[in-house]
Each structure stands twice: as C-alpha cells, then as structure tokens.
Amino acid sequence: MSDFEYAPALESKAIANISKDYGLFINGKFIASHNKKRFETINPANEEVLAKISLADEVDIDKAVKAARAAYVKVWSKMSGKERAKYLFRIARLLQERSREFAVVESLDNGKPIRETRDIDIPLSAAHFFYHAGWADKLEFAGFGDKPKAHGVVAQIIPWNFPLLMLAWKIAPALATGNTVVLKPAETTPLTALLFAEVCQQADLPPGVVNIITGDGSTGAALTKHPDIDKVAFTGSTEVGKLIARSLAVSNTPVTLELGGKGANIVFEDAPLDQAVEGIINGIFFNQGHVCCAGSRLLLQENIHDEFLSKLQKRMSKIRLGDPLDKNTDIGAINSAAQLAKIHELSSSGQAEGADIWSAPCQIPNKGFWFAPTIFTGVTQAHRIAREEIFGPVLSVLTFRTPQEAIEKANNTPFGLSAGVWSDKGSRILWAGNHLKAGVIWANTFNKFDPASPFGGYKESGWGREGGRHGLGAYIKGAK
Ligand code: NAI
Ligand code: MG
C-alpha cells in the first residue's frame, strides 16, 4: 500500500452563467458592435467554445470614449471622494458575493486551476477595490498636494494571465482618484471583464464611468491612439509596450507600462532548503508560469546544486497537472495554442543550445493546451532560455560561487521586475536587496501580493508602479 490516488474533486460549472454572445459595455449598457464582427473565446483545457465576443472597431471606441468623457464631465469629476468610495466598496462586496461564480468563469476561460482563482485571483481583486475605496476620500493627505486632480478619461489594456486581477489593478485606482475608464481585456480571456460589467450595473455605477470594449490587438492599438484619451495604462508584452510608448510620445500622453520579466530566485548555501524548494515551485509553476514576475531563473550556489536539484525534482514529481476545475489540480492548461507554441519554441532552443531538459512525469490530456513542469540545467547566461521571457512552466537553472557573482548574474538581464533571495542570514538578504535591480524583492518567500504594496520594474519591465500610494500617483495629474 504505497500509492494513494486522489479522488477527483470537481467544482461545478452550474454556477457559471455564460451567455452565448456578448456585446460591448458602453455607457452602462451592453450594445451590439458597429461592424457586427465576432470572435470566439474558448476553454483552453478542452478547446470548447465558451462564447462569441464582439470585436470593437474605431466607431465603437469613439462611442466608448465619448461615454467616458460625458460621465467624467457631468458626474464623476463633480462627485466627492466620499461618494465615489461608496461605489468602490459596493463593487468590492459584490465581487465577494459572486466570488465562486467569478472563480469558475476565470478557470474556464483562462485554464488556470480553480484553487488559484478561488484563493488568489478573485479575493485579491476584491481586496484591490476595498483598498482603493479607502483612499478615495483621503487623496489630499496622500502627498500629491492639497487638491489632487484626475487625468480624465483613461484607456486601459490588460493581458490574459490574470484577467480579473489586472482589471482590478487598473480600474480600482482609476475610479478612486476620479477618472473614468475604457478598458480592453485580452482576446483569449474577456469573460470575467464582461461579468464585471454586470457588477458595475448591479452597483448602480453611473453609466459611462466604466466601459468595457472587447477585441484584439488592433482594437487595443486604436484605443491608445484615440485623440480624447488623457492617460494610457498597459500590461502585457514588452514588444507591445514599446509600440505604445512610441505612438504616445508624439502627444506626450502620460502612460504606465507593466511589461515582462526574467526574475532570478537566488538560493544561498545557508538557505532553509526545503522551504526554498516550495518557494521555487511557487515562483515558476504558479499560474502555469504565465506570470510577469515569475522566478524563471534559479541561481543556485554551486555547492548545494546537486542536493537542491534532487529535492526539486522529487517535489516536481508530485505536481498535479489536469482539469482546472478539479480542486486537487496544481497546474492547469496553457492559455492558448499560440502561447504553447512559444513555450515549445523556446524550450527547443534550450535543447539545441546544449542545456539539459527534465520534465516532471505527468499525464498530458488529449485535448487542450498543456506543458509539463520542466527544468533546464547546465544553462549559461548566453542561452535564450536564460534571457527571454518564456511565460510558461519552464525553469532555467544556473549556478554561482560567490554572492557577488549571484548579483551580477541576477542583474544581467534587460528586465528588472522581481527577484527572490533565500538565506538564513538577515544581513545577506539586506545586502542582496540593496544590490539587486528589481522592483520587487522577496526574501524567503515568493509571489506575495498585496494591494498596499507597489509593484513595477526597472528597465524593460516597464514604467511606473501599480498598487499602494505610489500606484495612485499614476492616476493623478502631474503627480510623480
Ligand atoms: P500582448 O502584449 O500582445 O497582449 C496584451 C494585451 O495587449 C492584449 O489585450 C492585446 O489585445 C493588446 N494588444 C496587442 N497588440 C496591441 C497594440 N499594438 N496596441 C495596444 N494593445 C495591443 O501579449 P500576447 O501576445 O498575449 O503575449 C505575448 C508574450 O508577451 C507572452 O508570451 C509573454 O511573454 C508576454 N506577456 C507578458 C505579460 C506580462 O504580464 N508581463 C502578459 C501577457 C503577455
Ligand atoms: Mg478563453
């Protein structure tokens, strides 16, 4: 008797009330798009179509921006912070009330495990609205002058890795500071944003304060170029971030960008190794590795390399990959065929360039997009898998001999979003923290998020901060 199998513990889909067809949410109502073009969003775990989604064009964008402008001028800019806060609190409570429904819809549309949507994505989204509701009537005490002023109409574009959470990171601070919003979710994961539109209706949010337009990259590009946008906030790839920065440079429109990363997780010889193994696993396999701040490079002190690797492989062998709606699942589906192809391409480059690949033994389902948790050893800094963002469950392992070498290798990247330090010595952690060029540094833990804590990076990881008092500044005119 050594093998105990888990019985499946499936969350029911019955609570997810997904329509067949969605319009655009403009001025408080769902309306048909101008060109009637549609695209499908699928469940990446089984490739089934979930719903048909409207593809907004320039005419729709103009309508949404006009609705946001009118709501700003007539209602939202005139309302006191105390009144705005009531709407944010109401939205936060509605997200909590409907959290199970949101968790199921997010898992279906994105492929991420229900354990994560239930325990992380949805509660953190509600927490962002609660936190920012608290700021709305205290902005004059936040250090932005005694009359902080909103930008006006904000265009927001978000990616598919944390659909509702990225919406919350964008919309909550924008509304708290008195802006109105036109937001575009990613094309593969629009459903929770459309469900959020229902929450805005339920909360009686004045029409036009939040507008949700769906579409692809062309819709996003057209939105950022609309002449009546006062500020742009984008989360996504560094490539698209650069395009947006370039196109907005002409008009000098304020912009915040949250882009990619290639975070280093540094394990020193004195680290509590078992605890570090858990942190490394969480750092790279959380959300299938579709995390901009993932700890995708493991830097191991050379003398613990072999011991650590055998512990890591043993732990990886216990990771459960499969149905995202099963509460036992650790790793769900890769979000799209395109993302899976990108992971395969980079992983093949790792093998071609001479690194050694090892994947956890797991059963890959017949349908859907999947990638087994994988590590590469013998990786050098020149390898593509050490330099480029894979955005999948793939860890590149490098070694170092001295603390200085660890810092140099960790900082040797065009990015600078996150880093992790594992050591028993407080002084070493503080020393490393002072020398690492990363916006977020975790010590003896990883991937911890809180609305009060600012998030953002150096270099090609982006411009500006989200969350905390620093994040508010991005939505206040002239604030730094
Ligand atoms: P992407 O940057 O193309 O998409 C993100 C969002 O931007 C989506 O809503 C998309 O419709 C929109 N968009 C696309 N082109 C645009 C344009 N020209 N102007 C305005 N908006 C535009 O990212 P994609 O293609 O989904 O993923 C590609 C790679 O980007 C991934 O493999 C990953 O490495 C990285 N990525 C990083 C993210 C992060 O949080 N750091 C999030 C998503 C992707
Ligand atoms: Mg989908």
d(CA 73, CA 93): 27
**Residue entry with tokens 């800019």:** 77
Strands laid side by side in the 231-235 sheet: 29-31, 24-26, 210-212, 180-184, 153-157, 231-235, 255-258, 462-463
Q: Give how far the C-alpha of residue 351 lies from the chain's centroid of Cα atoms, to the nearest Å.
A: 29
**Ligand 1 site-directed mutation target among 109, 170, 214, 237, most atoms within 8 Å of CB:** 237
pLDDT in tens, 216-258: 999 999 999 999 999 999 999 999 999 999 999 999 999 999 9
Listed residue (266, 248, 255, 15) closest to 118, CA to CA: 15
Six-digit token string for 256: 């915040």
Strands 38-43, 210-212: pairing is unpaired
Q: Is the pLDDT of residue 4 over 90?
A: no
**Residue entry with tokens 């949250």:** 258
Ligand 1 pocket check for 157: Cβ under 6 Å:
yes
Please indicate whether the domains covering 21-259+461-473 and 264-451 agree at the CATH topology level: no
pLDDT in tens, 5-40: 889 999 999 999 999 999 999 999 999 999 999 999
Are the beta carbons of 332 and 20 closer than 8 angstroms?
Answer: no
d(CA 205, CA 297): 44
Ligand 1 pocket check for 240: Cβ under 6 Å:
yes
d(CA 365, CA 322): 7
Listed residue (448, 444, 421, 450) closest to 434, CA to CA: 421
Q: Which of 11, 187, 200, 292 is catalytic?
A: 292
Ligand 1 pocket check for 195: Cβ under 6 Å:
no
The model carries a pTM of: 0.98
Pick the ligand that lies closest to the CA of residue 247.
1
Question: For atom 38 of ligand 1, which residue has the closest CA?
Answer: 236
Ligand 1 pocket check for 235: Cβ under 6 Å:
yes
Q: What residues does 224 pair with on adjacent strands?
A: none
Q: Is 292 marked active-site?
A: yes
Helix, strand, coil share (%) of the chain residues, nearest 5: 40, 20, 40
Six-digit token string for 345: 């391409």
Ligand 1 pocket check for 247: Cβ under 6 Å:
no
The residues, any chain, with a CB within 8 Å of residue 431's CB and separated by 6 or more, are: 403
Listed residue (391, 386, 354) closest to 371, CA to CA: 391
Q: Is the pLDDT of residue 261 over 80?
A: yes
Helix (H/G/I), strand (E/B), else coil: 280: helix
d(CA 116, CA 313): 22
| Per-residue model confidence (pLDDT) at position 115 | 98
Cα 280 to Cα 274, 308, 313, 425, 430, distances in angstroms = 10, 11, 11, 19, 20
Average pLDDT, the chain: 97
Q: What residues does 39 pair with on adjacent strands?
A: 53
CATH of 264-451 given 3.40.309.10, 3.40.50.1820, 3.90.550.10, 3.40.30.10: 3.40.309.10
d(CA 267, CA 274): 11
| Per-residue model confidence (pLDDT) at position 2 | 64
Ligand 1 pocket check for 436: Cβ under 6 Å:
no
Mean pLDDT of 378-401: 98
Question: For atom 10 of ligand 1, which residue has the closest CA?
Answer: 217
pLDDT tier at 1, thresholds 50, 70, 90: low
Q: Is the pLDDT of residue 398 over 60?
A: yes
Pick the ligand that lies closest to the CA of residue 46.
2
d(CA 406, CA 432): 9
| Per-residue model confidence (pLDDT) at position 394 | 98
Listed residue (432, 444, 441, 439) closest to 402, CA to CA: 432
Domain spans of the chain, in order of start: 21-259+461-473, 264-451
Ligand 1 pocket check for 216: Cβ under 6 Å:
yes
Cβ count within 10 A of residue 463: 16
d(CA 290, CA 305): 26
Q: Is the pLDDT of residue 447 over 80?
A: yes
Helix (H/G/I), strand (E/B), else coil: 239: helix
Q: Is the pLDDT of residue 480 over 70?
A: no
pLDDT in tens, 164-221: 999 999 999 999 999 999 999 999 999 999 999 999 999 999 999 999 999 999 999 9
Q: What residues does 180 pair with on adjacent strands?
A: 153
The residues, any chain, with a CB within 8 Å of residue 186's CB and separated by 6 or more, are: 158, 159, 160, 163, 236
Pick the ligand that lies closest to the CA of residue 263.
1
Mean pLDDT of 91-110: 98
Helix (H/G/I), strand (E/B), else coil: 252: coil
Question: For atom 19 of ligand 1, which residue has the closest CA?
Answer: 221
CATH of 21-259+461-473 given 3.40.50.720, 3.40.605.10, 3.40.50.2300, 3.40.50.2000: 3.40.605.10
Q: Is 200 marked active-site?
A: no
Provide, rounded to the nearest whole percent, the portion of the chain with pLDDT above 90: 98
Q: Angle CA(23)–CA(25)–CA(26) in degrees, nearest 5?
A: 120
Are the beta carbons of 155 and 64 closer than 8 angstroms?
Answer: no
Which ligand 1 atom sits closest to the C-alpha of 243? 18
Q: How far does the centroid of ligand 2 lie from the alpha carbon of residue 11, in Å? A: 18
pLDDT in tens, 122-145: 999 999 999 999 999 999 999 999
d(CA 82, CA 346): 50
Q: Which of 258, 389, 460, 466 is catalytic?
A: 258
Question: Among the residues of 177-304, which ranges form H helices?
Answer: 191-202, 217-225, 238-249, 273-285
Q: Is the pLDDT of residue 149 over 80?
A: yes
pLDDT in tens, 290-334: 999 999 999 999 999 999 999 999 999 999 999 999 999 999 999
Length reported for the chain: 480
